[in-house]
Amino acid sequence: MDRQSAPAPTGARCPMHDAAFAADPDQIYDRLRAHGPAGPVELAPGIDATLVVGHETALRVLQNTTLFARDSRHWKALNEGHIPLDHPVLPMMAYRPNCLFTDGAVHLRLRKAVTDSLARLNITRIRRDVEPIADYLIDQFSERGRADLLNDYAKLLPLLLFNKLFGCPAGIGDTLTSAMSAIFDGKDALRANEELTACLMELIALKRRQPGDDVTSWLIQHPAGLTDEELKDQLVMLMGAGVEPERNLIGNALLLLLSPDTSGRDSGLLIGEAIDHVLWNQTPIANYATHYPVQDVDLGGVVAEAGTPVVISFAAANTDPALDEARRRHSKGAHLAWGAGPHACPAKDPAQVIAVTAIEKLLNALPDLMLAVPEKDLQWRPGPFHRALVALPVAFSPAPATHIASALQSRTVPAAGEQPLPTAPVAAARQEPARKKGFWSTFLDIFRV
């Protein structure tokens, strides 16, 4: 149906979980706009919500902590047993005692511990941590001449980086990576969640005994005095809040840079500009920040009832026609890609440095990268919350796996007290992660960072 002429839904809820929404979310945002700044949606079968699509109304909700709670224990339908406890939407919406789902003083205490710890990550440190991981991952596919940049690169880089930022030793890092991947892919999520909890508790115990220069140790040392349970919940939240959007920031910006439509690379589009464009137009967290009104609230003509989910469409707010062009062009930060108000992303600076470094490394290593399929054939992952490609297949001139080779070579001279290393062929080192060991322990074996 023609986007302009689509009728406004009268009573009908717009579905945000089907293939049509994944293929063209703007169609739904436009339909809702015809209603006003907010409208009725279905996040998943049986999960009703109000979606805020107007920029001004979004800010109003995000900043009003008196009328709107983030604690999803206010969710009436869940409390009344209308939502099965194994509903797939619950991992993103059910209460957990972390920054995202708490209000007032409880939120302030947790958030301060998290923001103060993240603030200790400076740009130099982040670049230093990202670069060898990027080199390692590029070496995994550089000789093939083909790759899926989403699954071979953008997905793995933040996972491995979090191992480093959290100070994970080899075994814990392998479990963390595989458990988080399984949770994101929805594979045996219950078991993966148990593994994740166990390995984070092990990490916390280790860091209490042997503190390091890492986020886990900084959280432990924070004057807020978080308990082990609280530490575990904040670490899980940091991984969830960081890994998935980071992957999609990298993936969506790479698509823009490689797109023949925008001729991103030929037009001299800088990486930072591509990231800004993505934050405005394909923002990784498209719809989230679920609020629960504590009383019925009129959102520009649509009444959001007390205890029902009100979801902010960061994507629709950013493209709200009421946001004039001058503001879009001159106020770089007017977009809502990082949220706003007391729950705004505390990691927007590190998140951008990670993405820029990852993309820079890739484009420098493989300068003739190009999409391996027509852009129109790329698929977007269904789901109400993210804007995420399924895959990003690319082709390029094969290049030798130089970083693994030189890291291995530099280790043929053993350090004092170390066994000499058999000169392992690069090919074996490249295949090892997939077969025997985890990615993280293999990376640590080779690069010793």
Residues that bind ligand HEM (CB under 6 A): 99-100, 111, 114, 237-238, 241-242, 245-246, 249, 279, 283-285, 288-289, 314, 337-339, 343, 345-347, 350-351, 354
In terms of Cα–Cα distance, which of 190, 188, 140 is closest to 160? Answer: 140
Distance CA 133, CA 139 (A): 10
Q: How far is the CB of 342 from ligand HEM (least distance, A)?
A: 6
Query: How far, in Å, are 52, 259, 338, 343 from residue 73 at the CA level?
Result: 21, 43, 24, 17
Nearer to ligand HEM, 142 or 234 (CB): 234
Distance CA 335, CA 319 (A): 9
Nearer to ligand HEM, 28 or 93 (CB): 93
Q: How far is the CB of 429 from ligand HEM (least distance, A)?
A: 28
Nearer to ligand HEM, 284 or 293 (CB): 284
Give the number of other Cβ atoms within 10 Å of residue 128's Cβ: 13
Nearer to ligand HEM, 356 or 366 (CB): 356
Q: How far is the CB of 179 from ligand HEM (least distance, A)?
A: 18
Q: How far is the CB of 278 from ligand HEM (least distance, A)?
A: 8
Q: H helices then E strands: how many in the chain?
A: 19, 11
Distance CA 207, CA 211 (A): 5
Distance CA 387, CA 248 (A): 7
Q: How far is the CB of 237 from ligand HEM (least distance, A)?
A: 6
Q: How far is the CB of 84 from ligand HEM (least distance, A)?
A: 23
Nearer to ligand HEM, 173 or 350 (CB): 350
Q: How far is the CB of 344 from ligand HEM (least distance, A)?
A: 6
- Amino acid 434 reads A
Give the number of other Cβ atoms within 10 Å of residue 212's Cβ: 14
Nearer to ligand HEM, 242 or 433 (CB): 242
Nearer to ligand HEM, 119 or 370 (CB): 119
Residue positions counted in the chain? 449
Distance CA 60, CA 68 (A): 10
Q: How far is the CB of 93 from ligand HEM (least distance, A)?
A: 10
End-to-end CA distance of the chain: 54
Give the number of other Cβ atoms within 10 Å of residue 393's Cβ: 16
Nearer to ligand HEM, 12 or 119 (CB): 119
- DSSP string covering 256-304, please? HHH-TTTTTTTTT--HHHHHHHHHHHS-SB-EEEEEEESS-EEETTEEE
